[in-house]
């Protein structure tokens, strides 16, 4: 039913039977999303095991839910290649949400619980105003709060993704 809603610049998601409606994001939010997308894409550009994409994307782990993380990294299955449709996505290596005033509760509570239940490898909540990233893993009861250097190492055979958060947030917030 959510797919039948109008295309009206709102983002519609269904999580645990709850309809979550959010307005279009701010320019600062989009700068953060774009900055992370570029950095993660550069990290993964020569890798055959994963790719990063950005929403809008209709990700449904189950028939009664649909989420649109700001960014997500999905695995590439050997022999199958990259997904051609959203319905093929059954797992994520990473989900990323950049906080907005209208999404903070859903991002920190509802989506976090969902991503943990679905065993998403890692879930980052990026708080631009506080200049931190909350890193959640499936079994965490509390997040790791990162303010200097963000490190993600999903594939042991490759070097980790590392991000200087001070530089990243300075770039996002420049000329604010």
pLDDT of residue 56: 87
Q: Look up the pTM and report it.
A: 0.86
pLDDT digits (tens, 9 = 90+) for 103-155: 888 899 989 999 999 999 999 999 999 999 999 999 999 999 999 999 999 99
Classified by CATH at the fold level, domain 9-173 comes out as tt1808, chain A (3.90.1570)
pLDDT of residue 7: 65
**Long-range contacts of 30-39, Cβ-Cβ distance < 8 Å, separation of 24 or more:** 31/171, 31/172, 32/98, 32/126, 32/128, 32/172, 33/70, 33/71, 33/96, 33/98, 35/168, 35/171, 35/172, 36/71, 36/96, 36/98, 36/126, 36/163, 36/168, 37/71, 39/161, 39/163, 39/168
Angle at 12 between CA 75 and CA 23, to 5 degrees: 110
pLDDT of residue 154: 92
Structural domain boundaries in the chain: 9-173
pLDDT of residue 103: 83
pLDDT of residue 77: 81
pLDDT digits (tens, 9 = 90+) for 83-109: 777 778 888 999 999 998 888 888 999
The position carrying tokens 């990700």 is: 59
pLDDT digits (tens, 9 = 90+) for 2-52: 566 566 666 676 777 777 777 778 899 999 999 999 999 999 999 989 999
pLDDT of residue 4: 64
pLDDT of residue 108: 93
Q: Is the pLDDT of residue 82 over 90?
A: no
pLDDT digits (tens, 9 = 90+) for 50-65: 999 998 888 888 877 8
């Amino acid at each position: 039913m959510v797919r039948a809603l109008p295309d009206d610049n709102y983002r519609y998601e269904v999580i645990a039977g709850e309809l979550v409606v959010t307005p279009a994001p701010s320019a600062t939010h989009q700068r953060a999303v774009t900055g992370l997308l570029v950095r993660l894409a550069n990290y993964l550009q020569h890798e055959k095991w994963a790719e990063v994409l950005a929403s809008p994307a209709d990700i449904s782990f189950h028939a009664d839910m649909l989420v649109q993380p700001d960014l997500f990294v999905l695995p590439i299955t050997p022999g199958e290649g990259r997904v051609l449709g959203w319905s093929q996505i059954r797992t994520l290596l990473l989900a990323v949400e950049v906080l907005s005033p209208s999404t903070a509760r859903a991002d920190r509570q509802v989506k976090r619980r969902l991503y943990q239940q679905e065993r998403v490898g890692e879930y980052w909540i990026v708080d631009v105003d506080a200049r931190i990233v909350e890193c959640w893993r499936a079994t965490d009861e509390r997040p790791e709060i990162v303010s200097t250097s963000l490190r993600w190492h999903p594939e042991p055979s490759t070097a980790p993704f590392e991000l200087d958060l001070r530089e990243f947030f300075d770039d996002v917030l420049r000329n604010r």
